[in-house]
Amino acid sequence: MSLIFDLHRPGQTGLRLLGPDATAEATDLPAHLRREQPPALPEVSEPEVVRHYTRRSRENFSIDTAFYPLGSCTMKHNPKINDVVASLPGFAQLHPHAAEGDCQGALELMHRLEAALSEITGMAAVSLQPAAGASGELTAMLMVRAYHAARGERRTTVLIPDSAHGTNPASAHLAGFTIAEIPSAADGRIDLAELRRAVNHDTAAMMVTNPNTLGVFETEIQAAAEILHDGGGLLYMDGANLNAILGKVRPGDMGFDLVHLNLHKTFSTPHGGGGPGAGPVAVTAALAPFLPGPRVARSADGYRWAHDDHAIGRVHGFAGNFGVLVRAYAYIRTLGAAGLTQVSDQAVLNANYLQAMIGDALPLAFASPFLHECVLTAKELAKRHHVTALDLAKRLIDHGVHPPTIYFPLIAPEALMVEPTETESKATLDAAAAAFRAIVREALESPASLHEAPHTTALSRLDETRAARHPVLVEPLTPAAP
């Protein structure tokens, strides 16, 4: 595999930034800002650049090329029409400093999206600012702190079940809280007896994912909310798994006070490539004054930015990741209430179908009914045949299936977390099930070949820590002569 730097040949050129005779002196740049040496960039022709990056892109796995059952990530097909809508010049080329009178359409879209997300979550108010799930969590935790402070209370602990996503404790810690872990019961759900023991005058909030990271619905969530509220704490929902319950049950009705949504999981923004996301936070009326501002308000003569005194401040520049908001709005309007409910119906059916097709080869880690994703375990294979969840995941790549999430949640040994999503056909699920079964058979018959997998990719097993510990970001080149 070559880097673009390997194609460097002095004198080759793809484009000219300045005229042939231009020098640094000919520009308006002040002398102290000018480079002394030309940058060490590779010199390559335009077709070489195009071919290089096209080749590289074809080595990537993507939702546009194959099945991608990466649990917890909701890697579903996102309708391309929503990209087209977000690319309309009126949205895409709108200047972030545009005067209110010149961007009424964009403000109206955000106002309407807030209303739609309020309805979907059963909450009173929404901020669209946070940039992703984790930043929604942090925003919510800062609001929890401000809420208690406004009531003259100092509460320093946030409770988090041991099945939680790692961002939950990280966000609570970043907001200045101490974390107390709640052990799960044998069925993978929150243990209410443990929760009762843990809640006290120091409890600021509990963070819960529902359905949780095993895909299991917390059936006693209202009782959990009561325990929290009786103790003066708040209940926060990590809404990353909203795909499972869209149109079925609402966080507000379950007793939650705050929830974040991942628009880049549930609401039609592709993710996984490091692009922008959005993690709006929806809250009850009691918490609405603490939302970050400014938010869009509607008045007699149109829409405007409204600033609120109690707000925790800004958590993102301008209007957040606006293009993501446009996609979400277009998606919600296209599907409507009936379509969104069908999303969760189909997501749950697909997960349960796929598990039924592979369950005798790879058992569930927790034998509880699950919704849109399930956690399988390779514990026995690892013990008896020295084939781990990692080996199975790597071998799936050779069958054209993206590996599921592995070794998460932490409470499941040798975990493979499978989330097919609602957008996959029965034929795709059948092919994936056949791949899973073939690999487990191979693990029993000739485990050695699995330890070397994948066999069909440009690179096979990578050293998982070397890239982080010894990054080589750029091959040094000799700078071109000035």
* Interface positions with ligand PLP (CB under 6 A): 72, 132-134, 165, 167, 209, 213, 238, 240, 262, 277, 279
Rounded to whole angstroms, the maximal C-alpha distance in the chain is 78
- Least distance (Å) between residue 395 CB and ligand PLP: 24
Contact 193/227 with Cβ under 8 angstroms? Answer: no
CB atoms closer than 10 angstroms to residue 442: 18
Nearer to ligand PLP, 110 or 261 (CB): 261
Residue least distant from ligand PLP (Cβ)? 133
Both tokens of 183, joined, read: 């052990």
Q: How far is the CB of 118 from ligand PLP (least distance, A)?
A: 20
- 110 or 138: whose CB is closer to ligand PLP? 138
Closest to ligand PLP by CB, 399 vs 402, is 402
468 contacts: CB under 8 Å, gap ≥ 6: none
Q: Which CB atom, from 114 or from 238, has the smaller least distance to ligand PLP? A: 238
Nearest distance, CB of residue 263 and ligand PLP, angstroms: 9
**Cα–Cα distance between 259 and 270 in angstroms, integer?**
21
Q: How far is the CB of 209 from ligand PLP (least distance, A)?
A: 5
Q: Which is nearer to ligand PLP, 213 or 368 (CB)?
A: 213
Considering only CA atoms, give the Rg of the chain. 25
**Which CB, 238 or 391, lies closer to ligand PLP?**
238
Q: C-beta of 172: minimal distance to ligand PLP in Å?
A: 12
Shortest reach from residue 260's CB to ligand PLP, in Å: 8
Least CB distance to ligand PLP at residue 8 (A): 36
Distance (Å, whole) CA 102 – CA 468: 46
Cβ nearer to ligand PLP, comparing 148 with 372: 372
- Select 70 or 311, whichever has its Cβ closest to ligand PLP: 70
Least distance (Å) from ligand PLP to the CB of residue 423?
18
